[in-house]
Amino acid sequence: MTTSTNQFLKPLTTGVNSTGNLEIGGCDLVELAEKYGTPLYVLDEETIRAVCRDYKKAFAKYPKIHMMYASKALCVSAVTKILDNEGFGFDTVSAGEIYTVYKAGVDMSHVLFNGNNKSFDELSLALELGVGRISVDNFFELALLNEIAQSKNKTVDILLRITPGIECHTHEYIQTGHLDSKFGFDLTQIDEAVELILNEYKNLKIHGLHAHIGSQIFETSIYPDEIEILVKEIARLDKKFGLKLDEINLGGGIGVKYTDFDNPPSIYDIGNLAVEKLFESVEKYGIDFPTVFLEPGRSIISTAGVTLYTVGSSKQVPHGKKYVAVDGGMADNPRPGMYQAMYSAEIVNKKEGDVPCETVTIAGRYCESGDILIPEIDLPQLCEGDILCVYNTGAYNYSMASNYNKVTKPAMVLVNNSQSDIIINRETLDDLISKEVIPNRLTK
């Protein structure tokens, strides 16, 4: 089995330098914390590029494959540039994501717009900026998109998003392909949607089908099952309507390693299974080879990211837990609270010979009892001022961050070859109130 980057707990460039401090991308993490402050998101460029290349190599045997980055995992201009350089397109889910990739200079024909409740303004922007595909989610959107396209005298290239009826063993909040889902057309609704497109919605041109099973998936059989369903549907629609669809979008969802207990599949194993199933299904159902799109998000960016925190107060509950608080928490990483997500961590300024000597609970600084980053972890004794590095925070941490308790969002730096660059500035207190307005009548 060939190992892939998503199977690593830490960024590829993680190591201990001559001072005994952890480093990533050749940058001392203590020095990064001192220079940029904490909490601090750190991204390793080498790890991002490595996993992109894993995907391209893993699926190279299929003649028509296009990689699309699921931007919702982390939509930042600098990251967009890296993914664009690596030949990835972009799966976007909002006007903000569309605008971000547009301003980063991406060829918009390589962008797909996805989502279950796209607004009039968002769809209009997508058409204005020339988004390559819109994945239509429901009957309401079909009518709305056709109306907008007609008003602009344009023909819109679309996919139909379907729910393939496949359940994956992941958290219920991140399952999307099962039958009882808010996303996509049920298999029994596809014919009605196709008839509307062919007979009424003349400004829509359908190219294929789109499905997404879920996120943080560890099961390798899921993807061949999905391919079978999509190829079979394409063959059935051709037979019934004479409709020659030539694209299938498999979504993303491959898992990553958050703790030593996680065992995500290799991208290469998934690639081999998927490509084998594609060849088999195309022959079985007698269709031409479709262009296949894949939309990894978490597995592209998660392993590359860590978050640095400064240790503050601690509290030993008599006959209970020891809580150690850091200067961040649920606002910069809401995943433990939302999904019961588990993380691994190390002291950055560890010294030679340090060994885990106590079990602690890593607590956040927010006014919520549930603000717990790591419920239980063995670490050397933590002292005020120590720097804690939490691994695998590249995906969905900054994307889901908030200003809860009126706390500023952290900065983000990109590291590579011993160089660090700010890619998101730390928010200021003025940023926090910059959009607030006091009506004149309240100042009298």
pTM check: above 0.85: yes
178 pLDDT exceeds 50?
no
Q: How many CB atoms lie within 10 A of CB 100?
A: 19
Domain 45-301 has CATH 3.20.20.10: yes
Distance CA 152, CA 142 (A): 16
pLDDT in tens, 413-428: 999 999 999 999 999 9
Say whether 45-301 and 5-43+304-433 share the same fold.
no
221 pLDDT exceeds 80?
yes
**Residue boundaries of the structural domains of the chain:** 5-43+304-433, 45-301
pLDDT in tens, 9-34: 999 999 999 999 999 999 999 999 99
The DSSP string of 357-371 is -EEEEEE-SSS-TT-
Per-residue three-class SS string for 17-78: CCCCCEEECCEEHHHHHHHHCCCEEEEEHHHHHHHHHHHHHHCCCCCCEEEEEEHHHCCCHH
What is the per-residue burial (b if ≥16 Cβ within 10 Å, else e) of 300-328? bbbbbbbbbbbbeebeeeeeeeeebbbbb
CATH superfamily label, 5-43+304-433: Lyase, Ornithine Decarboxylase; Chain A, domain 1 (2.40.37.10)
The DSSP string of 150-189 is HHTT--EEEEEEEE-----SS-GGGB-SSSS-SSSEEGGG
Helix (H, G, I), strand (E, B) or coil at 278: helix
Is residue 168 part of the annotated active site? The answer reads: no
Helix (H, G, I), strand (E, B) or coil at 415: strand
DSSP structural state of residue 214: B
By the 8 A CB rule, do 8 and 48 touch? no
Confidence of residue 351 (pLDDT cuts 50, 70, 90): low
pLDDT in tens, 109-148: 999 999 999 999 999 999 999 999 999 999 999 999 999 9
Longest CA span, the chain = 77
Distance CA 116, CA 136 (A): 8
**Which position among 52, 75, 357, 367 bears the catalytic label?**
367
| Nearest Cα to Cα of residue 416 among 12, 6, 5, 9 | 12
